Amino acid sequence: EAGVTQSPTHLIKTRGQQATLRCSPISGHTSVYWYQQALGLGLQFLLWYDEGEERNRGNFPPRFSGRQFPNYSSELNVNALELEDSALYLCASSLGRGTDTQYFGPGTRLTVL
């Protein structure tokens, strides 16, 4: 069974640009979660999507947004990039009951110059 996949692996952008990160959940999982992990820090919850709807949002500005497609894959968009947005962005999926175990993808390393 394929795990959670994310693309791209690495992304380099300049300040002010927009970044789009993609995630495909494990087959059968309807929930997708996005986390930000700055270097040496813990995981900060960004967004939770389930059945195509945004269910919960972490303490991040509106320029962090996303969506979930009918096939349950998801996209994270970061607008007006700032230097401090440089981080590893992790996507996780679960069966969708909210408190189920989350399975993480390998992440996208975003570097903002």
What residues are paired with 54 via a beta bridge?
A: 49
Task: Give 68 or 102: the residue with its C-beta nearer to another protein.
Answer: 102
Cis check: omega of the bond before 106, within 30 degrees of 0 = no
**Quick one: 20 or 58, whose CB is closer to another protein?**
58
Q: How far is the CB of 16 from another protein (least distance, A)?
A: 28
Question: E strands, 1-113, where?
Answer: 5-7, 10-13, 19-24, 31-37, 44-50, 53-57, 64-68, 74-78, 87-94, 103-104, 108-112
Place of tokens 């408190």: 99
**Candidate residues 7, 14, 56, 77; the one interacting with another protein per rule CB under 8 A:** 56
Residues 16-45 that bind another protein (CB under 8 A): 33, 35, 41-45
Determine the Cα–Cα distance for residues 26 and 92; give it in Å rounded to an integer: 9
How far, in whole angstroms, is CA 27 from its chain's centroid? 17
User: Which of 23, 48, 64, 93 touches another protein (CB under 8 A)?
Assistant: 48
Binding pattern to another protein, positions 71-110, x when CB under 8 A? -------------------x-x-----xx-xxxxxxx---
Binding residues vs another protein (CB under 8 A): 33, 35, 41-45, 48, 55-56, 58, 90, 92, 98-99, 101-107
